Structure 1
Amino acid sequence: MPHLSRLTSLALAMALLGCAPQLLAAEEPESLPATAVSGKAPLPLDELRTFAEVLDRIKSSYVEPVDDKTLLENAIKGMLSNLDPHSTYLEPEDFEELQESTSGEFGGLGIEVGTEDGFIKVVSPIDDTPASKAGIQPGDLIVKIDGQPTKGISLMEAVDKMRGKIGSKINLTVVRDGGKPFDVELMRAAIKVKSVKSELLDKGYGYLRITQFQVNTGEEVAKALAKLKKENGGRLSGLVLDLRNNPGGVLQSAVEVSDHFLKKGLIVYTKGRIANSELRFSADSADASEGVPLVVLINGGSASAAEIVAGALQDHKRGVLMGTDSFGKGSVQTVLPLNNDRALKLTTALYYTPSGRSIQAQGIVPDVEVPRAKVTREQDAETFKEADLAGHLGNGNGGADRPSTSKKAAGPRLQDDDYQLSQALNLLKGLNVTREN
């Protein structure tokens, strides 16, 4: 993708997608052209007079004194909170944490969160973090934080409450699938997210998991593919790309990952009100995956940049999408620095898959729906075969006898306790059978 090195300043500003104004967003600052923010519309004088009057009435009549700074910052927050769930005002600490998060190391619980009906909703827990280890699941509603109700508080306030000193404890009250509330105690930790994990599931079949899209994820995927091929004699028979509970991240990385599986064609494009927000990203002729049969796993925690990859691979019929519907976050946020180390995170565009689909509020529908389920294995009953019988005839073609044998218990495998993953592996094996025939 040689064109990536020539991205405009706005493209770089838009090259980051997060899932909701979240606990673990991944964005970086940039600025829009002056013409884009100046505008030519006349000032709404009547509304400004009303605003000034309200400000004056609050200052003079509210039960307690409120300083101008607090009132104006609250007004800004209210202005943004009524646009969409992803546009927000970032105070200095929030802005700094947002800038740090693209490195893959930050403090917190490891939860991507949004809002639903006034409550804090878990979009996805991040792998190997306090949240995932405590069993927090996508779709969980956090109704209390340390006993304090979350109903009606802003997302940033909730995020601030969940952040804290590393090693300190926090109690979340959670409602799952409309059931009874239950408490989960977690210990805050320094979150170090490894964005790419890989291993061999079976001889010839690789597993590649992307937990979120960081700045170097595209490079890490290329290395992981090379490592898997090397471990299997230079060639893979199939690959599972796991994007479940991946909340998104850096747009450019999503493009690079998609490009590792495609030889040509459009990957994603964006459209917004500003001319420079209309960007197109296409694949180059190199294919790090070498056309290996591919199954892509998605679920309700797959959002934003993860949906870009899934949508591109689905539109190009490069792999089979399996799992459940994705989150449906198809908008792009630009971080606009302000004075005094503050910033706006503003929704500036929508992105579209190669076929022109907008995923916003709809999500990606998998080709094969496989819900989450538990795998329960039954022990095989003891059986006898023809080859066990005394005096049995030999094989007419000269083949060796194959009597019943007691199988050695295999060591635990990743797919043994993951129904969706085991189904993906079975599909890959089936695809290879038909290809060989």
Structure 2
Amino acid sequence: MRFNAETDVVVANMRVFRDVPRNSGTRLPGHWGSRIGDTEQSGPLAMIEHRRDASALHTVRPASPRHSGCRALRLALPLLALALALATETACVVRSADHDPIDAALERYRAAFAAMRPSALPPSTSDPNYILFADVLQHVLSSHVKSADPERLIDTAVAGLGKKRQDDRTASERVLTESAIGAMLASLDPYSGFLDAEHVQDVRDQMHGEFPGLGMVVAPDDGSGLLRVVSANANTPAARAGVRSGDLIARIDDREVKGLSLHEAVMTMRGPSGGGVTLLLLRPGNDVPLLVSVTRTMVRSEPVLHRVESGVAYIRITHFTEQTSRLVHEAFDTMRHQTDRELAGVVLDLRDNPGGLFDQGVRVADAFLGAVEIVSTRSRVSGVQHYSGGTGDDVVRDLPLAVLIDSGTTSAAEVVAGALQDHHRALLFGGRSYGKGSVQTIFQLAGGDGLRLTTARYFRPSGGPVECFGIVPNVAITPAGRPPPPGAWPRTTAAEEMHPDPATCDPDAVAPTPPRTWAMTELCPEVASTPPMSELDRSLDCALAALRTRRLDRALTP
């Protein structure tokens, strides 16, 4: 899994719905929103589901009607025999517990929380921390892609409470509550999580492609328990300070990373533009730890890069924001103009793309496919939803298309790659994509906090699942590394494969049909015969050779 250091979210799909029906075969409504890792959404806040009654998201339940009925019975009939009264009371209590297991689970949580308080009293049902926990529990039970047992959820929440109290005897009730919520959500899937109000504000900032940060992507390193730097993009504070891909972050300011959750570590690195953070780095091959100081600045994302490469239009999509589809069209128009419309083909580079706005992924696929089905989602609440292109117009219909993917190709990027492959519009070069095929919704909670919750899984036009299986390329190419953009540090883990933990995969999922494959010697023999060297970009070189010699065109012809 990958996480953006500024957002602390797995680079994967999230979505927020407007009150607009999405019917099978219809075009997506006008988009809103922007990227937060792997986000699918449309709505006024992009990636945040609006609740106008946010202050009343969770109304504490009154006493069960059955309890009230029992009390009324006892008041109305004071002369009943004692035995009858006892029998009535017992029956009411039993029926109430059976009637509402959620209430029973919440009462058990209150009792466990009481043990964490000096007073040993459970929090009142009007306590803000209790309301926050209860609100999250209600969303999980009503909206998560899988049904959950409230008692099991409380078990994990109580375990989270105990662990936090054991680790930090001075933890506030708010911190304890967040720990309980975090443990509960972590038991669901790798992608659900709690977002505090500051994190939600970061989401809003990223809607506009600009936010204060360090400009690097980090992921947990299971072997060391530290944070591994996945990438430190060129011209960002992290890269300028000397942070490299592959570095391990051992300490953030005066706080040891080992023992921190990813969210806690990322929050420690966050702060306003102009502020600084000191990182202690362990670098493979270096015996001495490195201490670097990074000053946060406003990081501006560039979702689309383009150039003409030996008569071929090269378009790299780094992530999917609300501007990505428009920028792809503009990039292609620019290159058409530069070459007087003489192009041999198009390369769409989706490598190391962490996803982003789901509906932008659909729109980009639409630009190359037109009016066909692009993806479908399946959820416990909404059932099956189909997303189709609606333009009927392939902006490069007269040109062959090659797509570059690797294990960093994630979520919305996998939507694009899978649709182009299934409709035989492109050949895919590189390595198997990550395999992030689930959709997250971000719900806004009372007090400005947010909840990121897995609410659906998505499937390719062929019906094949993406979750865990990923997208298999037509031409498998093991990279020897590829040159970084100007100003970036060399990639030290270019050939490293990253995919979901098999334990998180659905054991009953049916594997998609394998695609037709070609060897490098068939489509780019001149590249296949070249010894792999770290300065060569074998996937791109192979795609360019296949396009320029029209081998790719012939391979795509039925």
TM-score tier after normalising by the smaller chain length: 0.7 to 0.9
Shift of 1:30: 1.1
Count matched residues: 387
* CA distance in 1: counterparts of 2:171 and 2:237, whole angstroms: 38
More strand by share: 1
User: Structure 1: where are the runs of 5+ without partners?
Assistant: 377-414
Pair 1:129-2:236 in alignment: yes
Q: RMSD value over aligned CA atoms?
A: 4.0
Q: Structure 1 residues 121 and 269 mapped into 2: Cα distance closer, same or farther (>3 Å)?
A: farther
Pair 1:420-2:539 in alignment: yes
Shift of 1:44: 4.1
Pair 1:30-2:49 in alignment: yes
Q: Which residue is equivalent to 2:117? A: 59
Pair 1:278-2:336 in alignment: no
Shift of 1:344: 0.8
The amino acid across from 2:544 in the alignment is: L
Q: Which residue is equivalent to 2:369? A: 262
Structure 1 window deviating more from structure 2 (246-255 vs 163-172): it is 163-172
* CA distance in 1: counterparts of 2:179 and 2:368, whole angstroms: 46
The amino acid across from 1:236 in the alignment is: L
Shift of 1:325: 2.0
Within a 5 Å distance, the mapping from 1:280-299 to structure 2 comes to: 280-284=386-390, 285-299=392-406
Does the 8 Å contact 1:127/1:211 carry over to 2? no
Shift of 1:48: 3.4
Q: Which residue is equivalent to 1:91? A: 196
Shift of 1:188: 2.8
Query: Which of residues 243, 250, 256 is equivalent to 1:149?
Result: 256
Does the 8 Å contact 1:416/1:422 carry over to 2? no
Q: Which residue is equivalent to 1:220? A: 327
Q: Structure 1 residues 345 and 43 mapped into 2: Cα distance closer, same or farther (>3 Å)?
A: same
1:161 is paired with a residue whose SS is helix
* CA distance in 2: counterparts of 1:188 and 1:224, whole angstroms: 30
Pair 1:310-2:408 in alignment: no
Pair 1:354-2:354 in alignment: no
Q: Which residue is equivalent to 2:88? A: none
Within a 5 Å distance, the mapping from 1:25-424 to structure 2 comes to: 28-31=47-50, 42-44=100-102, 46-60=104-118, 67-115=172-220, 117=222, 118-122=225-229, 124-126=231-233, 128-131=235-238, 134=242, 136-137=244-245, 142-146=249-253, 148-172=255-279, 183=290, 185=292, 186-202=294-310, 204-275=311-382, 278-284=384-390, 285-373=392-480, 418-424=537-543
The amino acid across from 1:200 in the alignment is: V
Report Cα offsets for 1:122-168 as digits up to 9, x if no partner.
5555554344665643x765444346432331222111122234355
Q: Structure 1 residues 216 and 8 mapped into 2: Cα distance closer, same or farther (>3 Å)?
A: farther
Shift of 1:367: 1.5
Shift of 1:366: 1.6
2:451 is paired with a residue whose SS is strand
The amino acid across from 1:29 in the alignment is: I
* CA distance in 2: counterparts of 1:247 and 1:132, whole angstroms: 19
Shift of 1:192: 0.2
Report Cα offsets for 1:54-104 as digits up to 9, x if no partner.
211111377956554443333223322332222111111111111221211
* CA distance in 2: counterparts of 1:65 and 1:308, whole angstroms: 46
Q: Structure 1 residues 145 and 430 mapped into 2: Cα distance closer, same or farther (>3 Å)?
A: farther
Structure number with greater CO (CA < 8 Å, separation at least 6) is 2
Shift of 1:174: 5.5
The amino acid across from 2:303 in the alignment is: S
Q: Which residue is equivalent to 1:401? A: none
* CA distance in 2: counterparts of 1:143 and 1:239, whole angstroms: 42
Q: Which residue is equivalent to 2:511? A: none
User: Structure 2: where are the runs of 5+ without partners?
Assistant: 1-16, 40-44, 60-97, 121-164, 484-533
Structure 1 window deviating more from structure 2 (175-184 vs 86-95): it is 175-184
The amino acid across from 2:194 in the alignment is: Y
2:549 is paired with a residue whose SS is helix
The amino acid across from 2:203 in the alignment is: L
* CA distance in 2: counterparts of 1:299 and 1:64, whole angstroms: 45
Report Cα offsets for 1:221-274 as digits up to 9, x if no partner.
111111111111124211111111111111111111111111342111111111
Report Cα offsets for 1:303-352 as digits up to 9, x if no partner.
11111111111111211111222222111111111111111111111111
Does the 8 Å contact 2:319/2:354 carry over to 1? yes
How high is the TM-score relative to the length of structure 1? Answer: 0.76
The amino acid across from 2:386 in the alignment is: R
Structure 1 window deviating more from structure 2 (331-340 vs 362-371): it is 362-371
Structure 1 window deviating more from structure 2 (175-184 vs 240-249): it is 175-184
Shift of 1:50: 3.2
The amino acid across from 1:43 in the alignment is: P
Does the 8 Å contact 1:19/1:303 carry over to 2? no
* CA distance in 2: counterparts of 1:132 and 1:310, whole angstroms: 29
2:393 is paired with a residue whose SS is coil
Q: Structure 1 residues 17 and 220 mapped into 2: Cα distance closer, same or farther (>3 Å)?
A: closer
2:456 is paired with a residue whose SS is strand
Q: Structure 1 residues 304 and 265 mapped into 2: Cα distance closer, same or farther (>3 Å)?
A: same
Structure 1 window deviating more from structure 2 (298-307 vs 77-86): it is 77-86
Q: Which residue is equivalent to 2:132? A: none
The amino acid across from 1:102 in the alignment is: M
Structure 1 window deviating more from structure 2 (4-13 vs 355-364): it is 4-13
2:457 is paired with a residue whose SS is strand
The amino acid across from 2:407 in the alignment is: G
